[in-house]
Amino acid sequence: MGRDVHDSRFRHRYLSHDALTRQLKAWVQAYPHLAHLQSIGISPKGQEIWVLTIGPEPERPRPAVWVDGNMHGTELAGSSVALAVAEAALALHTESLPLPGDVPEHLRQFLQDVLFYVCPRISPDGAEQVLRQSGFVRSAPRRTPDSVDGPHWRAKDLDGDGHCRYMRIDDEAGDFVASPKYPGLMLPRQVDDPPPYWQLYPEGVIENWDGETIPEPQWLQGTPDFNRNFPWSWQPEPEQVGAGQYPGSEPETRAVIDFAIAHPNLYAWLNLHTFGGVFIRPLIDAPDSRMDQGDLAIYQQLAAWGRSFVGYPTVSGYEEFTYQPDTPLHGDLTEFAYHQRGCVALVCELWDLFKRMDRPRPKRFVEHYTAFDREDMEWLAQWDTEHNRQRLFHPWQTLRHPQLGELEVGGLDPVVGIWNPPPEILPAICDGMVAYWLRVAALVPRLAIANVRCTPLGDGYRELRVTVENRGYLPSYGLNAARERPWNTGVDAQASAVGCRLQDPGKGRQTLGHLDGWGRGLGEASLMPWFQRSRGNGHQANVRWIVQGEGEVTVRIGGPRLGYVTRTIPIPGNATG
């Protein structure tokens, strides 16, 4: 048990679903007062979608942050980083676990009252198939019910080596050639290249084969993409490839949606992906000129932390991460979390392969993924030999395919080295992301009773006046994008009397509205030295009750998003003026 809790093996290798579950349960057993595990759904292959809640009194409402990983099957590093965040959240409360990074004591104390919700693997079915046999799995290894059931590729380990790599077929019309320097590396054919030429396909078989047609392998066609299946700005096929039949049609995404709606106390959301080494923030469907500028300033603060703690840039999803310019993606999780749930939400594409290659940053970050030339590919093969234990490229061997006859199997398995970082560098990635996310978690609002005054009015009456304030960075409503959502209520105050009585019981409950936070992000004019100024006291609200007689009044102030602060106030007698 002790070894499972403390050795942090998820920082050094990619865990199966069973191993991941054991780690979560080990934390629950070791820290039952801090760690609470629940299944928010079951995958089609019968695997639990786990959420670990970290913090004492998990049912007590208070501001919370969410982290998820492995929404896409191949993107295993997200699970490792999510587990590292969970471990750090536990370490905030106990000295028996390490807390990476230099976390000031006042910040640690504040974070101890923040709930952390960690869902390390949204797609257990997808991750399990990738871990078992490699091969590309966007989200889950299944087809949507209404997909066209024509010929399509299905990954299968034909040579029994435990990896689904590639197959190549000698063909005069082939569009690839073999690298003369690096066995297993295939290069796009150029006009000056001599034969042999090769057709390249993923290792596997053709489903619904008609005996003639060899289909082009598709990245998404016919399969769901969980990150296109959320309610915000959802569009059906074919307008949005991978959209699913309707928003939340996939059990994995529906589980996340239901959890978010049931937990209005969420203020920040980190959606972990691979690869690229970049944070992607809203807006996904419009340029920054159409974004609330107050929200944008807060994201500028996150960008500064991203550079400082992780070394990654932060980019607009619309301006730098649409696959085609001016063609927004639809049904994105972070857009749902930002627009509909009022969260500081963003994606992190872990693993800065492009930076390690010293490639110049293109005008739009997404262009990194289509700009590899031969020199880059050969650098990758050399790096694989020197720094990745030759996990990527393997020599070719002859095999008789059950449908296509004699061909060769081998080449690239991109799971470790392209889609995910080598496990040897996972600890550093985990530490940087933990330091970053703890700062983001520290932005949540913090409700407090600042002052209580009980003033005699005469004739046995007193005025009870309570000042409540938000001492946190964010306002009580989170971000401006979702301020007007009906569920995003502000602060209520409720008074109940024992012994004495309220003069007007109908005013026992009063609505105070939202409270400002102290933070403004970066680039806000009021922070500049030529005319610095504070906002005033919009972070405070006052509430008063008239009380008659001697006794006590219990005041409960807050809401389902902020949580509640409670104080019992003695009301003395002999109030004669």
pLDDT per residue over 113-124, tens digit each? 999 999 999 999
Q: Which residue has the higher pLDDT, 148 or 557?
A: 557
| pLDDT at position 5 | 53
Mean pLDDT of 400-414: 95
Cβ-contact 93, 56 below 8 angstroms: yes
Residue type, 14: Y
| pLDDT at position 131 | 94
pLDDT per residue over 196-254, tens digit each? 999 999 999 998 888 888 998 887 767 899 999 999 999 998 888 888 999 999 999 99
| pLDDT at position 575 | 47
pLDDT per residue over 453-481, tens digit each? 999 999 999 999 999 999 999 999 999 99
Cβ-contact 519, 304 below 8 angstroms: no
The answer, yes or no, to whether residue 37 has pLDDT greater than 80, is yes
| pLDDT at position 3 | 43
- Hey, is 227 helix, strand or coil? helix
- Cα 71 to Cα 126: distance, rounded to the nearest angstrom: 9
Structure tokens at 461: 């009456």
| pLDDT at position 524 | 83
pTM above 0.75, yes or no: yes
CB burial readout 488-525, b (16+ within 10 A) else e: bbbbbbebebeebebeeeeeeebebebbbbbbbbeeee
| pLDDT at position 101 | 72
Measured over the CA atoms of residue 219, residue 223, residue 229 and residue 234, the dihedral's sign is: positive
The β-bridge partners of 345 are: 269
E strands, 225-334, in order: 266-274, 278-281, 314-316
DSSP secondary-structure letter at 31? -
The β-bridge partners of 54 are: 35, 116
| pLDDT at position 7 | 57
Mean pLDDT of 362-372: 90
Q: How confident is the model at residue 9 (pLDDT cuts 50, 70, 90)?
A: confident
Residue with tokens 């492995």: 70
Backbone angles phi, psi at 410, to 5 degrees: 155, -140
Nearest alpha carbon to residue 401 among 130, 184, 557, 170: 170
* DSSP calls for 541-557: EEEEEEEESSEEEEEEE
The answer, yes or no, to whether residue 577 has pLDDT greater than 60, is no
DSSP secondary-structure letter at 339? I
pLDDT per residue over 482-507, tens digit each? 999 999 989 999 999 999 999 999 99
Structure tokens at 284: 């996904």
Structure tokens at 94: 């106990």
Q: What percent of the chain has pLDDT over 90?
A: 80
CB within 8 Å of 10: residues ≥ 6 apart: 20, 23, 79, 80, 83, 84
Cβ-contact 443, 475 below 8 angstroms: no
Give the C-alpha distances (Å, rounded to integers) separating 404 from 153, 175, 211, 400: 13, 18, 9, 8
Q: How confident is the model at residue 323 (pLDDT cuts 50, 70, 90)?
A: confident
Of the ranges 26-30, 136-140, 166-170, 567-571, which one carries the lowest mean pLDDT score? 136-140
CB atoms within 10 A of CB 209: 17
The answer, yes or no, to whether residue 193 has pLDDT greater than 90, is yes
Cβ-contact 502, 545 below 8 angstroms: yes
Q: How confident is the model at residue 70 (pLDDT cuts 50, 70, 90)?
A: very high
- Interior angle at CA 462, CA 456 and CA 463, nearest 5: 105
Cβ-contact 163, 133 below 8 angstroms: yes
Cβ-contact 576, 458 below 8 angstroms: yes
pLDDT per residue over 159-176, tens digit each? 999 899 999 999 999 999
Q: Which residue has the higher pLDDT, 325 or 217?
A: 217
- Cα 61 to Cα 122: distance, rounded to the nearest angstrom: 24
- Indicate the helix (H) or strand (E) that contains 21: helix 17-30
| pLDDT at position 15 | 96
Structure tokens at 437: 């996310």
Of the ranges 138-142, 349-353, 463-467, which one carries the lowest mean pLDDT score? 138-142
- Hey, is 471 helix, strand or coil? coil
| pLDDT at position 1 | 37
Mean pLDDT of 66-70: 97
Mean pLDDT of 36-52: 96
pLDDT per residue over 420-438, tens digit each? 999 999 999 999 999 999 9
Cβ-contact 317, 334 below 8 angstroms: yes
